Amino acid sequence: MTNTQPSVIPPGYTSEQDRALRMLTYGCYVVSAADETGTPQASTMAWVSQASFDPPLVMIAVHAESSLCKAIDTSTKFAVNIVGEDQMDLAEHYIRRATYVPSEPDDFEAGETGMPVLKAVPACLECQVVGKLTGGDHTIFVGRVEAGLIRDDAARPLMLADTPWVYAGLAGRE
């Protein structure tokens, strides 16, 4: 999540399209999965949404070349950790930068389905992958919600608009 502009703007892309994309609303979540060794991989992301009531489905967009994407591909499971509005430091810790910042295994515990879930978040969803779409710089995974945990019913989620970060339009491209 960055404020840098891309070096190449796609043909036909206008500043109005960019500004309109930036008007979409997003939350801040830490999505996690276990890699092939069982080590938690996690990254802060904004592109998360409920996609169906019946069955309950969630969709996430994960950078296609990330270690998290590989872990989700391998395990076919992921957890959406819902970050509280007072946890911007937690969200910032799991933002991927040019230099890799490893996930902190002590930050996690096994959820109901065995997925690594953050201990500190007010709520989380554990999902089984039921669909995948590739084609851009992000891979879209659709997950069926297998378990949910509420630790703090009164917590309000952190919204991207409440942070200094931008991850919409062309701002997130590197």
pLDDT digits 0-9 by tens, 148-157: 999 999 999 9
**Phi, psi angle pair for 156, to nearest 5°:** -105, 140
Q: What is the mean pLDDT of the chain?
A: 86
CATH number at residue 145: 2.30.110.10
Q: Tell whether 15 is covered by a domain.
A: no
Cα Rg for the chain, rounded, in angstroms? 16
Q: How far, in Å, CA of 171 to CA of 162, rounded?
A: 17
The angle formed by the CA atoms of residues 109, 115 and 120, to the nearest 5 degrees, is 40
Q: Tell whether 134 is covered by a domain.
A: yes
Report the 3 state secondary structure along the chain: CCCCCCCCCCCCCCHHHHHHHCCCCCECEEEEEECCCCCEEEEEECCEEEEECCCCEEEEEEECCCHHHHHHHHHCEEEEEECECCCHHHHHHCCCCCCCCCCCHHHEEECCCCCEEECCCCEEEEEEEEEEECCCCEEEEEEEEEEEEECCCCCCECEHHHCCCCCCCCCCCC
Q: Tell whether 171 is covered by a domain.
A: no
Each residue's pLDDT tens digit, 33-46: 999 999 999 999 99
Measured in whole angstroms, the distance separating CA 137 from the mean position of its chain's CA atoms is: 14
Structural domain span for residue 111: 24-160
Q: Tell whether 169 is covered by a domain.
A: no
Q: Tell whether 129 is covered by a domain.
A: yes
Q: Tell whether 172 is covered by a domain.
A: no
| Model confidence, pTM | 0.85
Q: Tell whether 136 is covered by a domain.
A: yes
Each residue's pLDDT tens digit, 84-93: 999 999 999 9
Total count of domains within the chain: 1
Q: Order of strands across the sheet with 138-150?
A: 40-45, 29-34, 77-82, 123-133, 138-150, 57-63, 48-52
Q: Tell whether 90 is covered by a domain.
A: yes
